[in-house]
Amino acid sequence: MTYSTAILGASGYTGAELIRIIAGHDHFSITALGAHSKAGQSLAQVFPHLRHLDLPDLVAMDAIDWSGIDLCFCALPHKTSQEVISALPRHLKIVDLSADFRLEDPEEYEKWYGNPHSAKELQPEAVYGLTEFYRDQIKAARFVAGTGCNAATGQYVLRPLIAAGVIDLDDIILDLKAAVSGAGRALKQNLLHAELSEGYHAYALGGTHRHLGEFDQEFSKVAGRPVQIQFVPHLVPANRGILATTYVKGEAQAVWDTLNAAYADEPFVTVLPIGEAPSTRDIRGSNFCHIGVAADRISGRTTVIAALDNLTKGSSGQAVQNANLMFGIPETHGLMMPPLFP
């Protein structure tokens, strides 16, 4: 059985990553590629690396005939997503990769993103797309809101630990190192090679990064009471990868045991032997997440580090993983490609 899909926002990095993954997928085909400023161009013009694929030209979104399409991947910027998804026909299943439907409370959305939520009526339908923790709901869902890439990484570390009560909930620090493709293909000065390649730095200081909205929502749900973490993201000169170094108060062995048990049957999340450090080179281009745990010399302090590829496990790979579940396809189908190293 093959399902017909459309990708909206096909000219961005997450769009390209969706195409890359679906190109090797037996049960999804691509019927339409929607774009805004690049409508009318061929895929070879927008993404020469995908020129070997026999796919349609990019089109304006309102030119798509949705009648034969089963699934829409929406890889548009936030705010635009709300507008576009509101107008999609109801027969479609939808996987949204934007931030527009991740937060259950529209006021939280407005607080973090600065604009009022413009599709409140759809929000209750959206299932949060962190597959390993929302698997049953996703299977039954028509509409899944994919997580933020940084938010996913931090949750792979912290959800099991918060649920198990093996760490102090009031003293969690997440120091995150993000590669540049997480910022998208937009033209910004700090993304230029000359600025970044010997210039790494923190950003969104002071607890202002928008993915904190997701952390707050999810961790508080897991804990059954408010939990706030301290989160400082950094931009490093690499193309793909997120490395989340998490400082928690708890015993390393209990932390490792908890994580190991939580992910024992998970195909994509691997807990390394205690004391080993993950590296972004070991997950690049794959749907895997590696987690390392180490006791500090200071008793009762533990460092947990997770690495994943922001474009794959952090967004487009996660999206396909969720789509597999939504259509009754084996969850790992099309997602077992090994990382690319070197």
187 binds a copy of itself (CB under 8 A): yes
Per CB under 8 A, which of residues 244..283 are in contact with a copy of itself? 245, 247, 270, 275, 277-283
Among 286, 316, 321, 322, binds a copy of itself (CB under 8 A): 286
Q: CB-wise, 220 or 239, nearer to a copy of itself?
A: 239
Q: Residue 86 CB, nearest distance to a copy of itself (Å)?
A: 30
- The residue among 127 and 149 lying less far from a copy of itself, judged by its C-beta, is 149
Structure-token pair, residue 308: 């994943």
Size of the site for a copy of itself (CB under 8 A): 87
Considering only residues 192 through 231, tell me which ones interact with a copy of itself, judged by CB under 8 A: 192-203, 205-208, 212, 228, 230
326 φψ region: left (φ > 0), alpha (ψ -120 to 50), beta (else): alpha
Contact stretch for a copy of itself (CB under 8 A) within 107-115, 156-164, 237-245, 319-327: 237-245
Catalytic residue flag (residue 149): yes
With CB under 8 A as the contact rule, which of the stretches 26-34, 62-70, 101-109, 333-341 interacts with a copy of itself? 333-341
189 binding a copy of itself? (CB under 8 A): yes
Enumerate residues 92-111 that contact a copy of itself by CB under 8 A: none
Task: Please report how close the Cβ of residue 222 comes to a copy of itself at its closest, in angstroms.
Answer: 18
Cα separation of 264 and 313, whole Å?
18
| Helix, strand, or coil (residue 82) | helix
Radius of gyration, alpha carbons of the chain: 19
Query: Residue 238 in contact with residue 285, Cβ under 8 Å?
Result: no
Distance CA 180, CA 337 (A): 22
Which residue in the set 2, 26, 40, 48 belongs to the binding site for a copy of itself (CB under 8 A)? 48
Q: Which of 72, 74, 149, 289 is catalytic?
A: 149
The C-alpha atoms of residue 256 and residue 219 are separated, in whole angstroms, by 19
Q: Which amino acid is at 68?
A: G
Kindly tell me which of 86 and 230 has the beta carbon lying closer to a copy of itself. 230
Position among 114, 165, 226, 237 found at the interface with a copy of itself (CB under 8 A): 237
Q: Which stretch binds a copy of itself (CB under 8 A): 14-22, 63-71, 73-81, 107-115?
A: 14-22
The whole-angstrom distance between residue 252's C-alpha and the CA centroid of its chain comes to 27
* Interaction residues for a copy of itself, span 115-144 (CB under 8 A): none
**CA-to-CA distance for 245 and 250, rounded, in angstroms?**
15
Strand partners, 59: 34
Three-state secondary structure of 121-167:
CCHHHCEECCHHHHHHHHHHCCEEECCCHHHHHHHHHHHHHHHHCCC
Strand, coil or helix: 84: helix
Which residues are catalytic, by number? 149
